[in-house]
Amino acid sequence: MDARVTPQARTPELRRAVTPWGSFSWGYSDVGADIFIGLGLVLAAAAGASNVAFLFAGIVYVCIGLAYTELAAAYPFAGGGPYFVLRGLGDVFGFIAGWAVLLDFTIDITLFAWSCVDYSGQLLPVLVGSVHPWVHFTVVLGLIVALCVLNVVGVRESTAFNGIVSALDVASETCILCFGFLFAFQPELLIHNMTASWPSPYHLMLGTSLAIISFVGLESISQAAQETYRPASVIPRTSVALILTILIFALAYSNLALGMQPWHPIVGNHGQHLQFWQIFPSSADNQGKAVALLAAQVPYWGAIAALYVPVLGAILLLISSNSWVFGSSRIAYSMSRADLLPSVFQRVHPRFRTPAVSIFAFCGLAALTLAFAALPALFPGAMAFYARVFHGESGLDFLADLYAFGAATSYSFVFIALIALRLTDPHSPRKFKIPLNIPVRFRGEKATIPLLGIVGFVGIFSILIFTLMTHPIGRIAGPSWLLLGVILYFVYRRHRGLPYLRSQKHDWRRHQMEILRTSGDLELLDEYTANLKAAENRTGDGSHA
């Protein structure tokens, strides 16, 4: 790795200010908020098989979570998945994975701010998009601008905000589920809905591709790894706790919904008969605030929940949007340091020590995305364009479709990178390792292949195929975004005099030593140095490095 990519070569650096609870809350603010959006979308698409869609996506999510836990603990450097792919597969694939995530995160800034206002509209009707579209648009835009300023000020302030609301939401969701299963859940109704309202294969694939939305966001923990002290110890604990928390919530909510209310068919956005939960009127406004509507139906607790869940949901969605601002800027920062994006994206604010240029850039892109998503509501004549190009999908559907495409694409590369790094970098200490491993020998060194990594790749690649098959926006905008990125990548590499398809030379050994030193995990640095010396003694020439 050249001097521009080496951590100690540039000052000021990102500040290590994320605590163990802060690490958990960064992930929870992303993944925990996803159910507030994903529940209504999946119920509308998968009907009686909604719990099956969540189960399939949940299994994939567990594999993704374990993969990110291992990689973030072993390589605690800002950037998350794209950085892991860069180390494991090289520059081109690292850029593609990063570019896909940047699409995902930019969309998510808008998606979660949009849904934040939808939940607020439950108590403040003036914010309902279909009634007051310009008010809705203006408030969402204002939130994006405010989050931009918040993240420039610093990660410590953002983390404190996340931690308080995450704790409140965990308690709230637990109360909703406990009262719901105790006083409203009917097992016979669950069975009836699953048998009488089982969807077609198309809608089951659609629901599964949307269900992954409820599990995207664990990557935030790895993106904050460079700002987490002793990440090799902190990240495994917080990640495993987050994996279990979100999996339980997603499966519980989907089964509770199926066991509380009967269903009836309506005509969905794709012009085919869908099964839609009957307490939801058939409007995109209500579809975007499913958890609030569900909570209001819970006996005893529902009267209280109807008042505070819209507020708490709106706040949690807001901090999730805040996390996507954080994530997109850290990914761009990391990609710039690796010569995958122009150097302007790695500039750190001299006072606040945050990547201000990256924050401004992607919040600006989020604002443009908001304008396009809100176009049909702001200018009804634009609905003809939407109907022709995107089969009549609403702004919420437009944002959700792109969300699924970017995440599935990036995660597919991460699983391949996980396997590649197990083979090519067996010397880096892995304080946490995915269970169920197959021992192999590669280039004369002992290594292992994670079986769950293979299972996870098959699962997430299947979801990517489902997305392309069932999401018209994903088929058009997703590949177009990747193609545009590859063209810009080649232009930039030509300008810098770097190879197009080959990777530039990286000194990963020196880089690994530096990130372990700055992370505070000095015992892992000692272990890594010892592993390298032992390998040199075996080979006699140090060629492994």
5-49 residue pLDDT tens:
444 444 444 444 455 666 676 677 677 778 888 888 888 888 889
Task: Please confirm whether the linkage preceding 435 is cis (ω < 30° from 0).
Answer: no
pLDDT at position 23, please?
64
Rounded Cα distance between 140 and 143, Å, is 5
Q: Tell me the CA distances in angstroms from 234 to 17, 176, 485, one per residue in order.
A: 13, 30, 34
Closest to 292 (Cα-Cα) out of 122, 532, 484? 122
The answer to the question of residue 544 being in a domain is: no
Find the farthest-apart pair of alpha carbons in the chain and give their distance in angstroms, rounded: 74
Contact assessment for residue 260 and residue 185, using Cβ atoms and an 8 Å cutoff: yes
Secondary structure of residue 490 in the 3-state scheme: helix
pLDDT < 50 positions in the chain: 1-17, 157, 265-284, 392, 542-545
The answer to the question of residue 542 being in a domain is: no
The count of structural domains within the chain is 1
Beta strands 263-267 and 273-277 are: antiparallel
The answer to the question of residue 1 being in a domain is: no
The answer to the question of residue 543 being in a domain is: no
Q: CB-based contacts of 318: which residues, under 8 Å, 6+ apart?
A: 112, 113, 116, 143, 147
At 105, which CATH number? 1.20.1740.10
The angle at the Cα of 72, spanning 68 to 77, to the nearest 5 degrees, equals 135
pLDDT at position 236, please?
80
Residue 512: domain span: 7-535
**Cα-based torsion angle of the residue sequence 25, 26, 29, 35 in order, rounded to the nearest 10 degrees:** -100
Quick one: tokens of 51? 């719990």
The interaxial angle of helices 50-74 and 395-424, nearest 10 deg, is 40
In the numeric block, the tokens 């080496």 are attached to: 6
- Residue type for position 41: L
The answer to the question of residue 177 being in a domain is: yes
The answer to the question of residue 149 being in a domain is: yes
pTM for this entry: 0.82
Quick one: tokens of 222? 């790895």
Backbone angles phi, psi at 388, to 5 degrees: -75, -40
238-295 residue pLDDT tens:
888 888 888 999 999 999 989 987 765 444 444 343 344 444 444 445 566 788 888 8
pLDDT at position 234, please?
74
The answer to the question of residue 14 being in a domain is: yes
Contact assessment for residue 227 and residue 158, using Cβ atoms and an 8 Å cutoff: no
What DSSP designation does 264 have? E
Contact assessment for residue 450 and residue 416, using Cβ atoms and an 8 Å cutoff: no
The answer to the question of residue 540 being in a domain is: no
pLDDT at position 175, please?
92
pLDDT at position 382, please?
58
Rounded Cα distance between 92 and 75, Å, is 20
pLDDT at position 20, please?
62
Contact assessment for residue 106 and residue 328, using Cβ atoms and an 8 Å cutoff: yes
pLDDT at position 415, please?
95
